[in-house]
Amino acid sequence: MEGRREPIVVLDSERRIVALNDAAASALGDGTPGRRLGEEQAAAHPDLLVLFLESPPELPAYQELRAGFTAAVSHELRTPLARLLVLLESATLPGSDVDELMEQARQEVEQARELIDDVLFLGELETGREVVALGHTQAKPILEEVVASFADRANHAEIGLEVRADNGIELPLRPRMLRVVLENLLANAIRYAGPGSTCIVELAATAEGPVLMVADDGKGVDAADLPRLFERFYRGDQARTSRGTGLGLAIVKHIATSAGGEVEATSEPGRGLAIRARFPRSRVTK
Share of the chain above pLDDT 90, in %: 22
Strand residues in 86-139 grouped as ranges (E): 137-138
Is the pLDDT at 282 greater than 60? The verdict is no
Q: Could you tell me which residue, 216 or 125, shows the higher pLDDT?
A: 216
Strand order across the 198-205 sheet:
160-165, 198-205, 210-216, 273-278, 262-267
* Other Cβ atoms within 10 Å of 185 Cβ, number: 25
- 137-278 CATH: 3.30.565.10
| pLDDT at residue 260 tops 50 | yes
Fold identical between 60-127 and 137-278? no
The per-residue pLDDT for 240 is 44
Query: What whole-number distance in Å separates Cα of residue 155 and Cα of residue 161?
Result: 9
Higher pLDDT, 236 or 154: 154
Q: Report pLDDT digits (tens) over 93-143.
A: 888 898 888 888 887 787 777 777 767 666 666 655 555 666 788 999 999
Q: With the C-alpha atoms ordered 218, 221, 227, 231, is the resulting torsion angle positive or negative? A: negative
- What residues does 16 pair with on adjacent strands? 36
* 5 CB burial (10 A radius; 0-12, 13-18, 19+): exposed
| Domain definitions of the chain by residue range | 8-52, 60-127, 137-278
pLDDT at 241: 47
* Digit-coded pLDDT (tens) for 164-189: 998 889 988 888 888 889 998 999 99
Q: What does the pLDDT average to over 278-285?
A: 66
CA distance 31 to 50: 13
Question: What is the rounded average pLDDT of the residues 240-246?
Answer: 55
Query: CATH topology for 60-127?
Result: Helix Hairpins (1.10.287)
Residue percentage of the chain with pLDDT more than 70? 77
Measured CA to CA in angstroms, residue 188 lies from 46, 259, 281 at distances of 42, 21, 27
